Amino acid sequence: MNNSENSFAEILNKVEKGKEDDAKLMDASQQLESVFIHQMISQMRATIPEGGLLGKSQGEEIFQDMLDEKYAENISKAGGMGLAKILYDQLAAKTPPLKD
């Protein structure tokens, strides 16, 4: 291999590494959006008055929280409120380029 082929391979490796980093950054942004949505769902659920003869059991509360968490994850992965994209754009602009 000559020198130009080596430099092209290095550039290609950096581009591939950059794509991996972008994917990780987007995943982190979606996770943060999911946490935010989960908090919103939990707070909205807290405003609903409990009814019936028996109160909620601890198991039911845990299940409800886990269900809300899954709802939030699915909402975020489906596009959510657009918060993940905004976070990604802001963080990507502030992230310095990789140096090797």
Tell me if residue 30 falls in helix, strand or coil: helix
Mean pLDDT of 73-88: 91
Tell me if residue 54 falls in helix, strand or coil: coil
- Mean pLDDT rounded to a whole number for the chain: 83
Q: Is the pLDDT of residue 82 over 70?
A: yes
pTM: predicted TM-score of the whole model, two decimal places:
0.72
Q: Determine contact, residues 76/30, Cβ cutoff 8 Å.
A: yes
Q: What is the pLDDT of residue 15?
A: 62
Tell me if residue 93 falls in helix, strand or coil: helix
